[in-house]
């Protein structure tokens, strides 16, 4: 087996976004494209010789080919050992768990998360660091610098490794361990949750649940957890066979893309509980019978009920939410007397807080929830957390959330997405809002008075690093908020996200339709940002 050094030239578009480098599959299939990025990861890291790396992906189209290339490049670059999931599969949370369990230097996760897959779908590469979490900005910037200067990469001439079953191999001098990609994750979940109590609930016959894996990576994990270990009947997991193109669907667990599950939970004879997860298994959506739990409310409810769950029975140190996530959890934190951190969008910003023991639970409006058990958000963890609470409280999802609102007030919340709009005008819209800055403060719009308006900037309380330009926040004196930002995960044009939130303490007003309750603020968002003028759109493409 010989190591080849291949001459190459830089691609100019390899800047990692919110969650790694995400591009259409044909972009990744260009000669040297993947190789350049992987070599840049290796070049940016110090002391990789002899180290352990974890590699796996969500099983989407191009996963297998990419894994073989990465294995050969890792061997050529002096990596000591690679842990790779069977079939090249690891859900993102499982990869994070394995990096931590084996004290690996880091991991390369192949996924474009909730973006569609297939030959014309998306693919992605993300580097996670030694704590199991996404690389912080200083690491992704170093990788980007390397992509701009690259002139060669190293790859071993060798045959493909058989990834079909667990086994140990040698690739040059590097050890390759092909491992069961589900077992280590299940073991971790068994440490956190009361499996006996959840099993009693799921096998009682009086409680029915439905888990939609959307033909994506969580299928095998969900079959193992719910049907094998927790006694739920076969058939509980829907779309549990991962497909390279996710069956042509959009593996994003929200009201729009997980509509089949929504129909079941809002249909006749609906089960008690429904959940879905995304392409790589880190997102989740929680539904009760005829009831949708917003991700922001979910974080608040989990925080308020954490002591009911074995892994968190001693209480939690603090919570963190991304800036656009509703302030529902802030109210719980206040009552519990713990700190609530507001970070920019992107799970990587939670890493330092979790490492420093400042936060135990974290969550985002973008259907992400997680804790200090790993350094990624974790879809099935959130489902198990809910099931554990349901098993202990013996009440319905709806009752638990409504009681929560009674106690803390309700944060009506919705996100309006304008997908695939032209980048130029979308940036102009943001620049205009940015330039309005503080001049909005004190201004009156109908019943609303602007209390503050800024472009969110975050100073990490652990390492002092500053992340600016993270989205326009407009806060009103009654606690309502409108937030504008451009998505950092799209691959086509720009996506404008408008987040709208209104606080209602009065329990007699907790039954209003969300879009109805938010109507005045939705109109105000248009009035202030002139969305129609800049995007040419009269309506959002997705409302969650
Ligand atoms: C990924 C990240 C999340 C983040 C989300 C936002 O899923 O892992 O942490 O909240 O992207 O994406 P956006 O498209 O809004 O930038
Ligand atoms: Zn994801």
ipTM: 0.97
Q: Are 83 and 198 contained in the same domain?
A: no
Domain count, the chain: 3
309 vs 359: CA distance, rounded Å: 17
pLDDT at 488: 83
pLDDT at 102: 97
pLDDT tens figures, 22-77: 999 999 999 999 999 999 999 999 999 999 999 999 999 999 999 999 999 999 99
Q: Are 216 and 241 contained in the same domain?
A: yes
292 phi/psi in degrees, rounded to 5: -110, 130
The CATH number of residue 455's host domain is 3.30.310.50
The angle formed by the CA atoms of residues 212, 214 and 216, to the nearest 5 degrees, is 120
Is the Cβ atom of 487 under 6 angstroms away from ligand 1?
yes
Reading phi first (left if > 0) and then psi (alpha if -120 to 50, else beta), residue 152 is in beta
Write down which residue in 129, 160, 181 finishes a domain.
181
Is the Cβ atom of 347 under 6 angstroms away from ligand 1?
yes
Atom of ligand 1 nearest to the CA of 346: 9
Q: Are 436 and 397 contained in the same domain?
A: no
Q: Which one, of 411, 271, 396, 386, lies nearest residue 332 by Cα?
A: 411
State both tokens at 232: 């739920």
Is the Cβ atom of 72 under 6 angstroms away from ligand 1?
no
Q: Residue 113 catalytic?
A: yes
Q: Are 365 and 273 contained in the same domain?
A: yes
- The confidence band for 533, taking pLDDT boundaries of 50, 70 and 90, is very high
pLDDT tens figures, 244-256: 999 999 999 999 8
Is the Cβ atom of 489 under 6 angstroms away from ligand 1?
yes
Q: Are 258 and 392 contained in the same domain?
A: yes
The verdict on pTM exceeding 0.90 is yes
Q: Are 147 and 129 contained in the same domain?
A: yes
Catalytic one of 111, 113, 298, 326: 113
The closest residue, in CA terms, to atom 10 on ligand 1 is 346
Q: Are 175 and 195 contained in the same domain?
A: no
- C-alpha 252 to ligand 2 mean position (Å): 8
Is the Cβ atom of 488 under 6 angstroms away from ligand 1?
yes
Is the Cβ atom of 303 under 6 angstroms away from ligand 1?
no
Mark 131-160 as b/e (b = at least 16 C-beta within 10 Å).
bbbbbbbebbebbbebbeebeebbbbebee
Is the Cβ atom of 366 under 6 angstroms away from ligand 1?
yes
pLDDT tens figures, 173-190: 999 999 999 999 999 999
Ligand number nearest to the C-alpha of 281 = 2
- The confidence band for 492, taking pLDDT boundaries of 50, 70 and 90, is confident
Q: Mean pLDDT, the chain, as a whole number? A: 96
pLDDT at 490: 73
438 pLDDT exceeds 80? no
* Mean pLDDT calculated for residue range 314-333: 97
Ligand number nearest to the C-alpha of 379 = 2
- C-alpha 114 to ligand 2 mean position (Å): 5
Choose the residue to mutate in 324, 368, 370 for probing ligand 1, maximizing ligand atoms within 8 Å of C-beta.
368
Compute CA distances 470 → 344, 391, 485, whole Å. Answer: 6, 39, 7
Question: Do 115 and 62 contact (CB within 8 A), yes or no?
Answer: no
The closest residue, in CA terms, to atom 2 on ligand 1 is 346
pLDDT tens figures, 362-398: 999 999 999 999 999 999 999 999 999 999 999 999 9
- The confidence band for 136, taking pLDDT boundaries of 50, 70 and 90, is confident
Write down which residue in 362, 381, 408 finishes a domain.
408
Q: Are 97 and 207 contained in the same domain?
A: no
Q: Are 429 and 358 contained in the same domain?
A: no
pLDDT at 469: 93
Compute CA distances 139 → 49, 61, 107, 247, 354, whole Å. Answer: 18, 27, 13, 35, 18
Write down which residue in 408, 440, 460 finishes a domain.
408
- C-alpha 330 to ligand 1 mean position (Å): 21
Atom of ligand 1 nearest to the CA of 114: 7
pLDDT at 17: 85
DSSP 159: P
3-state DSSP assignment of residue 432:
helix
105 vs 485: CA distance, rounded Å: 33
Q: Are 286 and 364 contained in the same domain?
A: yes
pLDDT tens figures, 95-121: 999 999 999 999 999 999 999 999 999
Starting at the earlier edge strand, list the strands of the sheet with 448-455: 444-445, 448-455, 472-476, 481-486, 494-504, 410-421, 542-543
Compute CA distances 231 → 195, 223, 269, 379, 529, whole Å. Answer: 10, 10, 21, 20, 51
- The confidence band for 330, taking pLDDT boundaries of 50, 70 and 90, is very high
Q: Are 192 and 314 contained in the same domain?
A: yes
- C-alpha 284 to ligand 2 mean position (Å): 9
**Where in the sequence is the domain holding 233, given as residue range(s)?**
185-408
489 pLDDT exceeds 80? no
Compute CA distances 262 → 211, 273, 280, 501, whole Å. Answer: 11, 11, 20, 23
Q: Which one, of 67, 18, 20, 59, lies nearest residue 40 by Cα?
A: 20
459 pLDDT exceeds 90? yes
* Mean pLDDT calculated for residue range 201-205: 93
Helix/strand/coil (H/E/C) assignment for every residue in 285-351: EEEECCEEECHHHHHHHHHHHHHHCHHHCCCCCEEEEECCCCCHHHHHHHHHCCEEEEECCCHHHHH
- C-alpha 30 to ligand 1 mean position (Å): 26
Is the Cβ atom of 17 under 6 angstroms away from ligand 1?
no
pLDDT > 90 in the chain, percent: 95
- C-alpha 159 to ligand 2 mean position (Å): 31
Cα distance from N-terminal residue to C-terminal residue, the chain: 52
The closest residue, in CA terms, to atom 13 on ligand 1 is 487
Q: Are 190 and 50 contained in the same domain?
A: no
* Mean pLDDT calculated for residue range 410-420: 96
Exposed/middle/buried for 196, CB within 10 Å: 0-12, 13-18, 19+?
A: exposed
The CATH number of residue 389's host domain is 3.40.120.10
Question: Do 49 and 172 contact (CB within 8 A), yes or no?
Answer: no
């Amino acid at each position: 087996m010989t190591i080849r050094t291949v001459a190459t030239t830089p691609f100019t578009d390899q800047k990692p976004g919110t969650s790694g480098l995400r591009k259409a599959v044909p972009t990744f299939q260009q000669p040297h494209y993947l190789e350049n990025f992987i070599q840049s990861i290796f070049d940016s890291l110090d002391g990789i010789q002899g180290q352990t790396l974890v590699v796996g992906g969500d099983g989407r189209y191009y996963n297998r080919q990419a894994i073989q290339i990465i294995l050969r490049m890792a061997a050529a670059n002096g990596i000591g050992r690679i842990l790779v999931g069977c079939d090249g599969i690891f859900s993102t949370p499982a990869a994070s768990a394995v990096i931590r369990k084996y004290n690996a230097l880091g991991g390369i996760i192949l996924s474009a998360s909730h973006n569609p897959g297939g030959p014309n779908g998306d693919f992605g590469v993300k580097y996670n660091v030694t704590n199991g979490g996404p690389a912080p900005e200083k690491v992704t910037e170093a990788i980007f610098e390397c992509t701009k200067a690259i002139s060669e990469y190293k790859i071993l001439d060798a045959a493909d490794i058989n990834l079909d079953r667990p086994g140990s191999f040698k690739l040059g001098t590097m050890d390759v361990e092909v491992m069961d990609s589900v077992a280590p994750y299940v073991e971790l979940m068994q440490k956190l949750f009361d499996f006996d109590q959840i099993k009693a609930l799921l096998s009682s016959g009086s409680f029915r649940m439905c888990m939609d894996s959307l033909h994506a990576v969580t299928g095998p994990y969900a079959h193992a957890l719910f049907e094998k270990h927790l006694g739920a009947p076969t058939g509980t997991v829907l779309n549990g066979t991962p497909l390279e193109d996710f069956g042509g669907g959009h593996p994003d667990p929200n009201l729009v893309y997980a509509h089949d599950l929504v129909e079941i939970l809002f249909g006749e004879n609906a089960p008690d509980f429904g959940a879905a997860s995304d392409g790589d298994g880190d997102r989740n959506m929680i539904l009760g019978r005829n009831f949708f739990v917003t991700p922001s409310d979910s974080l608040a409810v989990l925080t308020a009920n954490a002591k009911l769950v074995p892994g968190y029975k001693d209480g939690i140190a603090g919570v963190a939410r991304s800036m656009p996530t509703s302030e529902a959890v802030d109210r719980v934190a206040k009552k519990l007397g713990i700190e609530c951190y507001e970070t920019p969008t992107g799970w990587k910003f939670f890493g330092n807080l979790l490492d420093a023991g400042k936060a135990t639970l974290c969550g985002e409006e973008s259907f992400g929830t997680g804790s200090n058990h790993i350094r990624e958000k974790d879809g099935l963890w959130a489902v198990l957390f809910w099931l554990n609470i349901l098993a202990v409280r013996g009440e319905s999802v709806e009752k638990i959330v409504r009681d929560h609102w009674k106690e803390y007030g309700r944060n009506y919340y919705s996100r309006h997405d304008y997908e695939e709009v032209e980048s130029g005008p979308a940036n102009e819209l943001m620049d205009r809002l940015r330039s309005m800055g503080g001049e909005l403060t004190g201004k009156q719009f109908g019943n609303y008075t602007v209390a503050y308006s800024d472009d969110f900037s975050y100073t990490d309380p652990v390492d002092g690093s500053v992340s600016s330009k993270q989205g326009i926040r407009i806060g009103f004196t009654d606690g309502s908020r409108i937030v504008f930002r451009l998505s950092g995960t799209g691959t086509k044009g720009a996506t404008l996200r408008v987040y709208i939130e209104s606080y209602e303490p009065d329990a007699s007003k907790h039954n209003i339709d969300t879009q109805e309750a938010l109507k005045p603020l939705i109109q105000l968002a248009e009035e202030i940002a002139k969305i129609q003028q800049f995007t040419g759109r009269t309506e959002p493409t997705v409302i969650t």
